[in-house]
Amino acid sequence: MLQVSNIAEHKEAYIKALKKRNFDAEEIFEEVLNLDETRRATQAKLDDVLASSNKMSKEIGLLFKNGEHQKANMLKEKTSRLKEESKELSEKLSETIAELQKILYTIPNIPHESVPAGVSEEDNEEVYKEGDVPTLEEGSMPHWELAKKYDIIDFDLGNKITGAGFPVYKGKGARLQRALITWFLDKAVEAGYTEFQMPLMVNEASGFGTGQLPDKEGQMYHITEDDLYMIPTAEVPITNMFRDNLMNEKDFPVLCTGYTPCFRREAGSYGAHVRGLNRLHQFDKVEIVRLETPDKSYAALDDMVEHIKGLLKELKLPYRILRLCGGDLGFTSALTYDFEVFSTAQDRWLEISSVSNFEDFQANRLKLRYKDKDKKKTLVHTLNGSALALPRVLAGILENYQTPEGIKVPEVLVPYCGFDMIN
């Protein structure tokens, strides 16, 4: 969430920057600043009324003590009127703050200066590419056919038990899935991240804290009776561990990782491009989250990018990195890099990770601050990335490692799963 003081100070620059997102902020900024002016004026008036009331209360006590009952009773009548006025002002102040907050929740983050303008994913910039696309034998299959041939993932069974988008992993498919999770976690811990095992449901405050609510409310599974939400990513519970915290500069950097299943309704997603593992309602993911001071957050983002590059190099999968344009940038992000693996059998790129710097956008919602060296309270910068999301990584492995004899297992995973071939 943007800070009102920053909107006032950088209004024109923010309006220009948000045009990269195709978001016209001029009118909404005017509304924000008018509401903030009303809030400040109402608060000032309320403070004056309360100060007058307190002063009169002290005078009334002295008057009664001195036997001046008539004067005391006259002042009591005035304080009654002041109490009524303060009640009205308090209600107006609460309503103004609520309305201001509601509007601020609808304004996306300011994109970093390096974010290109654009409307959709077609306008994203490729900034890096590595790995050779393998040449497959004639008759090579997409992963959903390989899964059926080798009986390692059963999409029909998942559909029977729950519905479309909830696959069942079987035998070597389940073991390979578990191997990937463990390897990703081990690599994160090696890189200095502390592992956490988090709840799979969060409350509404957590959803608002990281920006999933109200922006993505329709994409989250909501348990209405308990007013809890199934997590769309481990970012939500991990980052919310620090909600309402006041940290010290010596606490940084904070590096966290965690494996969780993730749940997304993916409403409106249909067609061949979402077939098999390409898009699911439940999937596994290892997440990395960082808290940094503002001066170090972009160096931290680069470090996270390098970490994910290292994973893909070891898996020997062809990949590329995209800098997302304004039109494809997530609501809360200032800068996002997407990683995509090339699916040889599908002849298309599959997104397998997003790495983002939110700057202080989430921290303002979370009320997450730290005391700097001058003891000034400053908002923290938050970052997160998938390291990695499993379904499309697994799809890339199945498709790119297929041979006439079966599917080879990437060398780094063999010690984790105990076999080197699926056949």
Do 232 and 173 lie in one domain? The reply is yes
Give the per-residue pLDDT at 16. 97
Residue 83 structural domain: 4-104
Query: For residue 249, what are the contacts with CB-CB under 8 A and spacing of at least 6?
Result: 293, 370, 371, 372, 373
Do 220 and 253 lie in one domain? The reply is yes
**Final residue belonging to a domain, choices 54, 75, 104:** 104
How many domains would you assign to the chain? 2
Instruction: Mark the binding-site residues, compressed into ranges.
Output: 233, 264-266, 287, 351-354, 384
What CATH number does the domain containing 247 carry?
A: 3.30.930.10
Query: For residue 70, what are the contacts with CB-CB under 8 A and spacing of at least 6?
Result: none
Evaluate whether residue 174 is within a structural domain.
yes
3-state secondary structure labels for all residues of 139-180:
CCCCHHHHHHHCCCEEHHHHHHHCCCCCCEECHHHHHHHHHH
Give the per-residue pLDDT at 70. 80
Give bridge partners of residue 371 from the DSSP assignment. Answer: 248, 377
How big is the chain, counted in residues? 423
Within 10 angstroms of residue 361's Cβ, the number of other Cβ atoms is 25
Evaluate whether residue 42 is within a structural domain.
yes
Task: State pLDDT tens for residues 155-175.
Answer: 999 999 999 999 999 999 999
What CATH number does the domain containing 38 carry?
A: 1.10.287
Do 72 and 136 lie in one domain? The reply is no
**Final residue belonging to a domain, choices 62, 77, 104:** 104
Evaluate whether residue 114 is within a structural domain.
no
Do 340 and 394 lie in one domain? The reply is yes
Evaluate whether residue 97 is within a structural domain.
yes
Give the per-residue pLDDT at 267. 59
Do 95 and 190 lie in one domain? The reply is no
Do 353 and 294 lie in one domain? The reply is yes
Do 76 and 169 lie in one domain? The reply is no
Give the residue ranges of the chain where pLDDT is below 50: none
Do 338 and 255 lie in one domain? The reply is yes
Evaluate whether residue 116 is within a structural domain.
no
**Final residue belonging to a domain, choices 78, 104, 130:** 104
Give the per-residue pLDDT at 62. 84
Closest CA to 7 of 29, 26, 24: 29
Entry pTM:
0.92
Do 157 and 239 lie in one domain? The reply is yes
Sheet holding 406-408, edge to edge: 402-403, 406-408, 421-422
Instruction: Mark the binding-site residues for L-serine, compressed into ranges.
Output: 233, 264, 287, 384
Give the per-residue pLDDT at 366. 98
Do 186 and 267 lie in one domain? The reply is yes
Do 375 and 400 lie in one domain? The reply is yes
Instruction: Kindly state the tokens that stand for 403.
Output: 């041979």
Instruction: Kindly state the tokens that stand for 140.
Output: 């090579």
Evaluate whether residue 111 is within a structural domain.
no
Evaluate whether residue 113 is within a structural domain.
no
Q: Are strands 194-196 and 254-263 parallel, antiparallel or unpaired?
A: parallel
Instruction: Mark the binding-site residues for ATP, compressed into ranges.
Output: 264-266, 351-354
Give the per-residue pLDDT at 272. 56
Do 94 and 203 lie in one domain? The reply is no
3-state secondary structure labels for all residues of the chain:
CCCHHHHHHCHHHHHHHHHHHCCCCHHHHHHHHHHHHHHHHHHHHHHHHHHHHHHHHHHHHHHHHCCCHHHHHHHHHHHHHHHHHHHHHHHHHHHHHHHHHHHHCCCCCCCCCCCCCCCCHHHCEEEEEECCCCCCCCCCCCHHHHHHHCCCEEHHHHHHHCCCCCCEECHHHHHHHHHHHHHHHHHHHHCCCEEECCCCEEEHHHHHHHCCCCCCHHHCCEECCCCEEECCCCHHHHHHCCCCCEEEHHHCCEEEEEEEEEECCCCCCCCHHHCCCCCCCEEEEEEEEEEECHHHHHHHHHHHHHHHHHHHHHHCCCEEEEECCHHHCCCCCCEEEEEEEEECCCCEEEEEEEEEECCCHHHHHHCCEEECCCCCEEECEEEEEEEEEHHHHHHHHHHHCEECCEEECCHHHHHHHCCCEEC
Evaluate whether residue 72 is within a structural domain.
yes
Give the per-residue pLDDT at 67. 82
Whole-angstrom distance, CA of residue 369 vs CA of residue 300: 18
Task: State pLDDT tens for residues 178-224.
Answer: 999 999 999 999 999 999 999 999 999 999 999 999 988 889 999 99
Give the per-residue pLDDT at 265. 92
